[in-house]
Structure 1
Amino acid sequence: MIRGTSIAGTAGGQVKKDYPIQPVPFTQVHVSDSFWAPKIKVNAEVSIPYTLEQCRKTGRIDNFLRAAGKLSDDKMTEYTFDDTDLYKVIEGASYSLQVKKNPELERYLDTLIAIIGAAQEKDGYLYTFRTMKTTHPHAWMGVKRWEKEEDLSHELYNSGHLFEAAVAHYQATGKTTLLNIAIKNADLLVSVFGFGKEERFPGHQIVETGLTRMYRATGKKEYLDLAKFFLDVRGPGKPNSGEYNQSYKKVTEQHEAVGHAVRAAYMYTGMADVAALTGNQQYLSAIDDIWQDVVNRKLYVTGGIGATGNGEAFGHAYELPNMSAYAETCAAIANVYWNSRMFLLHGDAKYIDVMERTLYNGLLSGVSLSGDHFFYPNPLASMGQHQRSAWFGCACCISNMTRFLPSMPGYVYGQHADHLYVNLFVGNTADITLPAGKITVTQQTNYPWEGRTDIMIAPAKATAFALHIRIPGWALNKPVPGNLYFDAPGTPQKKISILLNGQPVKYRMEKGYAVLERTWKTNDKISLDFPIEVQKLMADSLVEADKGRFALQRGPIIYCLEGPDNKDATVQNIIVDKNAAVQAVYKPSLLNGVTVLEMKGVSASRQLNSPALVKSAQTVTAIPYYAWANRGPGEMTVWIPFEEAAARPKPAPTIASKSKVSASAPNKKMYMALNDQYEPRDSKDNNVPYFHWWPKQGSVEWVQYDFDQEYTISSSSVYWYDDGPFGGCRVPASWKLYYKKGNEWLPVQNVSSYGTAKDQYNTVQFDPVKTTALKMEVQLPSENASGIQEWIVK
């Protein structure tokens, strides 16, 4: 049972060291603005109930019933970490209960917690996939407990999310039901793991931060010691050691961001937690260097991290492709956690700059305005192949979003001794206790659409303290720390205004904060004015994907061009002069109310049988990036060409582009890749849409064009997708073409060979045929799938 409990987020008598700066808990910050408050409300009223229901429908709750012996159907869900979706949505629901009481939801959580408790084994072990004892156990979990933990079992990952949910639920309700389950599990981990005992590192990090939360909640130092062990035991020399899971070196010897981006950012967050709680300087040195590596070389302009879907990982330095950007929603959330911790350690506004960029852009894009459709990756360009989904088999991003949004008010303020930090500009009222006394802080603002914020200070009595107001980097013509992104040359310097009770006030700048140190009285009012003007951002010349392009930012919001707002629903063919004037217009009825940007530009189109481009002037409209893909699939780009060479003229229509595509692959989103007329750089180019049959191997597959009318055709060219040596697709073993005659499919009489070369078009000539459809039959290699970049018919 729980003993010596001190609430997480407060130092408590038993937590001797902690972050020098502490967040003001979100329970004390009541958001009332027109930007975040509606999103938190949608999360509470739509996303959380929706995700709870999906956990029921998809069998995640049944996993616990099976483990408890209350359901015997010899089934299980798909992934060994599916238990965590229930933990995360319980965490989000618990946060939501702290903001607004909901007795019905609280009773449902009680029911779920009872089911979770019934699935727990007597010694505290809680992992439904092993306990349910199915006829065909999941291949990832191993025969014995923990034996595949460093690989894919996710036993400790599940525990980490259990711990986070348990502390949140305890804080929200005062009930110890879930916390006692977590304590029992954590005590088991303490008894099993350690040097001289089970010496295994977590395959997917998060148990480290879960344990530090448990330590703060219970005061049990063994939990902190175990969190440190899980960091210190990670390193080379084991079968699963490598960059993918950040175990290629000891954690204190790592100085750049590598591998799976979510695992990495969770680990850096855990290192910050343990460093704060133990005073370990080696951890600090490592994560300081890694942070510099990310912000200078590996951060998307949206705040997203993780460049490649191959391992859901960081790319090489400056490898930041747009259309194939992974930028997983979970990674954005982890990036917020990490940067928040870095601020609590160092008190520097640059970490909040990165956090704010991620919050308003690469994180918020992960959920639809309606709250029930979600992105897993968050690309920065699209031909229409990217759409939010109602659910994923791997649902980590969905449940993660439900737990993050209601906690967002906890990132607005920080406090240390008699220093109060204003980090985010959000309409709210906060009740804060400093050593000098109690104060109420109220912000009134229409941020991020307008730069004016009024901050009212109401102390219980005249109180002396230092108010640190963050001056956002974008307001100082420095969009990000470092030089990865910068204002276009010629951008005028912004003028910032800070008034106290209507009069100019003296302040000092300290680590990116305007510091006002005085004795505050009731009705003191600070008026901030950050000029929110359109900024054109350029990327470091080493970022190949952004050459000849600029991005638009206004305040903290990154913008994109999207099909529905632009001529012919096309944006990849647009060119805008980098000196073009840009007008900001607020549209209350568009996308729940957004400021759009309008400018003059040119679109380019190709003609049949002519190299000359047709150019036409047009108005170009940009919307906030977070709001794209809420109106169906379509084209989108964040980085806008100002050089003609960077744009992609709209291709002239062809037989293939006008055809209806069908195929033996079930994912219809891929079909458009066959005839989108996008020229690949090589066979492994995943910066453009491509079609594939993965994970099939050795089978005969097909794709088909049904033409818009009858044509006489005599040749066809195919550019194969091959992502070897690491991916699962190779050029096919062989292929054939068939044309439709009446209701029959007949082979074409080829007069040249069917080629399977990589990195080029393979063209087959055949005797002319008159037909309304063409089918390609493909023999996949015995141990791989195959794919197609482009398929042309002439």
Structure 2
Amino acid sequence: MKNSLLLLLGLGWAAPALGQQLDYPIQAVPFTQVKLTDSFWLPRLKTNTDVTIPASFARCESTNRVKNFEMAAARQGKFATTFPFDDTDIYKTIEGASYSLSVYPDAKLAAYVDELIKKVGAAQEPDGYLYTARTIDPAHPHPWAGPERWSKERELSHELYNAGHLYEAAVAHYQATGKKTLLNIALKNADLVCAVFGPGKRSVAPGHEIVEMGLVKLYRVTGQAKYLTTAKFFLDARGHYPGYDPKSPDSWKNGSYWQDDKPVAAQSEAEGHAVRAEYLYSAMADVAALTGDKQLLAAVDTIWHNMVAKKLYVTGGTGAVPGGERFGANYELPNTTAYNETCASVADVYWQQRMFQLHGDSKYVDVLEKVLYNGLISGVGLDGKSFFYSNAMQIKNSLGFPQTEPARAGWFECSCCPTNLARLMPALPGYVYAQRGKSVYANLFVSGTTTLMVNKQPVQLTQQNNYPWQGDLKFTVTPKAAAADFDLLVRIPGWARGEAVPSNLYTFAQPTATPVVIKVNGKAVEYQVQNGYAVLGRKWRRHDVVEVSLPMEVRRVHANPLVKDDLGKVALQRGPVVYCAEWVDNNGKTSNLLVPATATFTASYQPALLNGVETLTATVPVVSLGADGTSVSTAPRTLVAIPYYAWANRGRGEMTVWFPEKLTDLDLLSQPTTAATTAQK
């Protein structure tokens, strides 16, 4: 922080008066200060650097996303991709590359990014406007763009959405390199936005939120109040959308789709397009923290509780309904049609981190952890270059028709998810630790080292563990001075305290029988849990060791009875990891597996499977159809469950997260005839 402030002053900007301003009471330790050494996340970050980011840039080239900027610079040609927001795939990949360069310097990558930034700058119009879908041929803009600037911003154009991702990329690039090349482009655009929108000027509720988050980042970097003021203006613009005809088949697509049916301070449910919503809620948290707006804070708190208590999948996925990629009604969490867009998981990580920084409660990190280890990384294949846009909860073959199971794709026509992952992954170390005065929070359990300033004294913290497969955690505290007086707050995960989620949406079938044990220098200590954290306060001396033992039992998860799709079913969880059964391990089928209450599971680490995973096995009844086609029976067989995130890396076939505990009914359906099957093909 100190170095960043000096750099700002050296560049001639008026830096914020950090000691006098409102802000998040808890500050995350920057990812550049956390050096990972673990075997779970570090390989993923390396794959993101070596594979995902280069593949994203290559695909931006091959799909003409880069060409759009080149044509915009020349002011001639025809927009060469499908969507007006395709510009953001370049911005997001630059953001990811910038974060990566902070950790893994790469001259070739840095030079490529510099050249790409030149193309972005050349595409910018003299007054700062930057939107290739119009600039290439202003007389014939993209159909979603409208005849004039901003005229379709609420519904379709994504002009401000593009701007928001530009701002986020620019701040990342500046912080990583110290170069102002992309930041100057972003500031020029943001100055235009601030001149166009505001009280007495044009007003709109941005159709796809993120410009608000981006403006807040520009405010933090420059200290210029207009960026924060405009971010708040966009929040306050919501609640004036007239809606659609309720008799229309698209009646769901009213103002709620854009989170524009009520003023933000009056909103109480997670609603509409899930990615847009969670970007909005992140911005609400930002603005509440920076302005002290209590109404905004109360609203985002209420929305959070609604989402976690009624609209969250057991894997942490959000956005249940494919039509509109949106949140459904309360408890509407279907399995076979679950949408769970990968981008929504990315947005949810941003939101949960901000809620933690506001309140200092571990429940927000519990949700963040659930998303990270399950619903988020399921979106990227183990190869780092194949992806899911949506993340299913159950895949089932039907009646002998050709397989329709999803396969991971290298790219999508709308490729927001791969590039969103590319930008999130390098910054993940920034979620491990946080500080508030003399309190140091250990939020995520990832082996590595960080050095913090606590009471103006350097303190090194080193984690050693084999998480998430084992629950034995070790923290070594090494102050530079002989001793350092501070509180180490170690998160005791909700799952280790008998809480499946911080609500009654999901519960464990049985309470845990194993307590969480904490030792300091080999001796068990009594500790108090405050807001989900074990508070360990003492004068820490060099090489003091804290050991935490978390129970790693296999837990049976039940959903709230109001979740109709999960009635009579059970899910499996061990530590933070939710499991599924996949066809390849279970004789080609998973829709015939029963998991009665008497089933006993054994966990076993398989180093050669799916880059190394802990599997769960149990003997369970399996439903079979007799050879005569008229009889049904069950027989014992071994069920093999793998971490949900690892499914669909070995081909297409059935998968399920929720298992029936017993047979309650059978549907008698005939196989289609050969002719019918052929017709379907």
TM over 0.5: yes
Q: How does 1:405-424 map to 2 (within 5 A)?
A: 405-424=425-444
Q: Give the aligned partner of residue 118 of structure 1.
A: 122
> For residue 170 of structure 2, what is the aligned residue in structure 1?
166
Q: 1: distance between equivalents of 2:8 and 2:338?
A: 47
SS in 1 for 2:142: coil
Q: Distance in 1 between matches of 2:662 and 2:334?
A: 18
Instruction: Find out whether 1:306 has 2:319 as its counterpart.
Output: yes
d(CA) in 2 for partners of 1:144, 1:14: 43
Check whether the contact 2:79–2:133 (CA below 8 A) recurs between aligned residues.
no
Deviation at 1:195, TM superposition (A): 1.4
Question: Residue 69 of structure 1 aligns with which residue?
Answer: 74
Q: Provide the C-alpha distance between the structure 1 equivalents of 2:676 and 2:467, rounded to a whole number of angstroms.
A: 47
**Aligned-partner residue type, residue 578 of structure 1:** A
Give the match for residue 376 of structure 1.
Answer: 389
**Structure 2 residue aligned with 1:485:** 506
Asked whether 1:642 is paired with 2:661, we answer: yes
1:573 alignment partner AA: N
- Structure with the higher strand share, 1 or 2: 1
Bigger shift: residues 630-639 or 132-141: 132-141
Equivalent position to 2:268, from 214, 230, 255: 255
Which residue in the other structure is 1:59 paired with?
64
SS at match of 2:153: coil
Residue identity in the other structure for 2:70: L
Q: State which structure, 1 or 2, has the greater radius of gyration over its C-alpha atoms.
A: 1
Instruction: State whether structure 2 residue 594 is matched by structure 1 residue 589.
Output: no
**Pick aligned residue for 2:484 from 463, 470, 474:** 463
Cα shift at 1:11 = 7.6
Question: Of residues 542, 562, 580 in structure 1, which corresponds to 2:582?
Answer: 562
Q: Distance in 1 between matches of 2:449 and 2:120?
A: 37
* 2:48 maps to amino acid: N
The 3-state SS of whatever aligns with 1:243 is: helix
1:7 and 1:217 in contact (8 A); partners too: no
More off after superposition, 33-42 vs 231-240: 231-240
- Report the RMSD for the aligned CA atoms in angstroms: 2.0
Instruction: Look up the equivalent residue of 1:244 and give its one-letter code.
Output: Y
1:297/1:317 contact within 8 Å kept: yes
Q: What residue identity is the alignment partner of 1:616?
A: A
Q: Please tell me whether the aligned partners of residues 432 and 439 of structure 1 are also in contact (alpha carbons under 8 angstroms).
A: yes
Q: Structure 2 matches for 1:684-695, cutoff 5 A?
A: none
* 2:153 alignment partner, one of 146, 149, 169: 149
Superposition deviation, residue 126 in structure 1? 0.6
Supply the AA of the counterpart residue of 1:55. Answer: C
Cα contact 1:375–1:389 (8 A) shared by 2 = yes
The 1-side partners of 2:538 and 2:281 are apart by: 37
Following superposition, the deviation at residue 363 of structure 1 comes to: 0.3
Q: Is the 8 A contact 1:80 1:138 kept in 2?
A: yes
Q: Following the alignment from structure 2 to structure 1, what is the Cα–Cα distance between the partners of residues 234 and 156?
A: 16
Deviation at 1:611, TM superposition (A): 4.6
- After superposition, the C-alpha distances for 1:55-112 in whole angstroms (9 at most, x for unaligned) are 0000000110011007x44242100100000000000000000111011000000000
Q: Say yes or no: does 1:655 pair with 2:664.
A: no
Alpha-carbon distance between aligned partners in 2 of 1:647 and 1:275, rounded to the nearest angstrom: 52
Corresponding letter in the other structure for 1:640:
F
1:352 to 357, 362, 365: 365
CA separation of 1:186 and 1:15: change in aligned 2, threshold 3 A: farther
Separation in structure 1 between the aligned mates of residue 666 and residue 549 of structure 2, nearest angstrom: 37
Please give the alpha-carbon distance, in whole angstroms, between the structure 1 residues aligned to 2:658 and 2:665. 10
Is 1:476 matched with 2:497? yes
Q: 1:190/1:136 Cα in 2 relative to 1: closer, same or farther (>3 Å)?
A: closer
Q: Quote the sequence identity (%).
A: 50
- Determine the C-alpha separation between the residues in 2 that align with 1:586 and 1:395: 34
Q: Residue in 2 aligned with 1:333? A: 346
Identify the residue that residue 242 of structure 1 maps to in structure 2.
Answer: 255
Q: Deviations over 1:189-214 (max 9, x none)?
A: 11110011011110100001101111
1:601 corresponds to which letter in structure 2?
V
User: Counterpart of 1:484 in structure 2: which amino acid?
Assistant: L
User: Residue 767 of structure 1 corresponds to which residue in structure 2?
Assistant: none
* Aligned counterpart for 1:269 among listed residues 275, 278, 282: 282
What is the 5 A alignment of 1:698-777?
703-704=679-680
Paired residue secondary structure (1:623)? strand
> Which letter maps to 1:346?
H
Q: Which of 169, 183, 191 is matched with 1:187 structurally?
A: 191
Query: Using CA pairs below 8 Å that are at least 6 residues apart, which structure has the higher relative contact order?
Result: 2
Contact in 2 for aligned 1:303/1:358 (Cα 8 Å): yes
Does 2:550 correspond to 1:530?
yes
Give, as a single letter, the amino acid of the residue that structure 2 aligns with 1:106: A
Deviation at 1:397, TM superposition (A): 0.4
One-letter code aligned to 2:422: T
2:69 and 2:564 map into 1 onto residues whose CA distance is: 48
Distance 1:232 1:633, change over 3 A: same
Q: 1:602 offset after TM fit, Å?
A: 1.7
Q: Measure, in 2, the Cα distance between the counterparts of 1:103 and 1:584.
A: 44
**Structure 1 letter corresponding to 2:366:** D
C-alpha contact 2:16 2:222 (8 A) present in aligned 1: no
Q: Distance in 1 between matches of 2:230 and 2:20?
A: 15
Question: Number of residues paired by the alignment?
Answer: 657
**How much does 1:239 deviate?**
6.2
Give me the whole-angstrom Cα distance separating, in 2, the residues matched to 1:15 and 1:49: 42
94-103 vs 506-515, which moves further: 506-515
- C-alpha distance in 2 between matches for 1:541 and 1:421: 35
Post-superposition offset of 1:507: 2.2
- Indicate conservation of the 8 Å contact 1:495/1:531, yes or no: yes
Cross-structure match for 2:566: 546
Q: Hey, what's the Cα distance between the residues in 2 that align with 1:553 and 1:539?
A: 13
Separation in 1, partners of 2:227, 2:78 = 35
Query: 1:14-163 alignment to 2 at 5 Å?
Result: 16-69=21-74, 72-133=76-137, 136-163=140-167
Unaligned runs of 5+ in 1: 662-702, 706-794
Per the alignment, residue 250 of structure 2 pairs with none
Shift of 1:603: 1.6
Partner AA of 1:400 in structure 2: N
Provide structure 2 residue ranges, at least 5 long, that are not aligned to the other structure: 1-6, 245-253, 397-403
Equivalent residues of 2:623, 2:634 under 8 A apart: yes
Residue in structure 1 matched with residue 292 of structure 2 by the alignment: 279
1:510-525 residue pairs with structure 2 within 5 A? 510-525=530-545
Aligned-residue offset at 1:387: 1.4
* Contact residue 575 and residue 647 of structure 1 kept, 8 A: no
How far does residue 276 in structure 1 lie from its aligned partner after superposition?
0.5
Which is helix-richer, 1 or 2? 2
- Give the Å deviation of 1:436: 3.8
Distance 1:283 1:11 in 2: 23
